[in-house]
Amino acid sequence: MKENKAIEKKFKTPIIIVSIIIPLAVVLLFSIRLKDFGIQVKPLSFLPPIYATINGITAILLILAVRAIKNGNRALHEKLMTSAIACSVVFLLMYVAYHMTAEATTFGGEGVIKYIYFFLLITHIVLSVTIIPLVLFTYVRALSSEFDRHKKLARITFPLWLYVAVTGVIVYIMIAPYYGN
């Protein structure tokens, strides 16, 4: 038991560092355009529907993983959760690549839909930053066989991560008509 908590303690500082570096790097890279450095790259305009799909796949993987563990299939749960993390990493790489090659897209909706869009976008962004350490600590607790503590944290992590994945798709669908305008 002490050995397992030592594993989590060993990863605490790296998780905190990664949880700070990723959002800062995204903000920094989001503001950088390769063309500003004389690198002529066509905008990777094909990426948004792909990374939105990856968000959708992540949501499905999360739901399937919860079902798997509730049905007692820990091996499947582990594979699904590892796949969800991998999807999130691929999403992040594509998201940054797109924004480094393309100009920002402005939402063109008006009225109530504009407020709904910005509510979803802002909560999506805030929770996408919040979810990083939650996912990593939840994962480390599972790897260190701290299953009671893992389950306790997973009850918070799962709905937030699912919200981030689903709102990522919704935000994409809402802004897609304005790409290239």
Question: In this model, does residue 1 exceed pLDDT 60?
Answer: no
Mean pLDDT of 83-93: 96
Distance (Å, whole) CA 12 – CA 7: 9
Give CA–CA dist 33/99, Å, rounded. 7
Per-residue tokens: 134: 């939650």
- Choose between 90 and 104: higher pLDDT: 90
| pTM to 2 decimal places | 0.89
pLDDT beyond 80 at 26: yes
Tell me the per-residue pLDDT of 2-13, one tens digit each, with 9 for 90 and over.
666 677 788 888
Long-range contacts of 112-119 (CB under 8 A, 24+ apart): 113/174, 116/174, 117/171, 117/174, 117/175
pLDDT in tens, 106-141: 899 999 999 999 999 999 999 999 999 999 999 999
Other Cβ atoms within 10 Å of 110 Cβ, number: 7
Question: Which helix (H) or strand (E) is 162 found in, with range?
Answer: helix 147-175
35-81 confidence digits (pLDDT tens): 777 777 888 889 999 999 999 999 999 999 999 999 999 999 999 99
Is the confidence at residue 31, as pLDDT, over 80? no
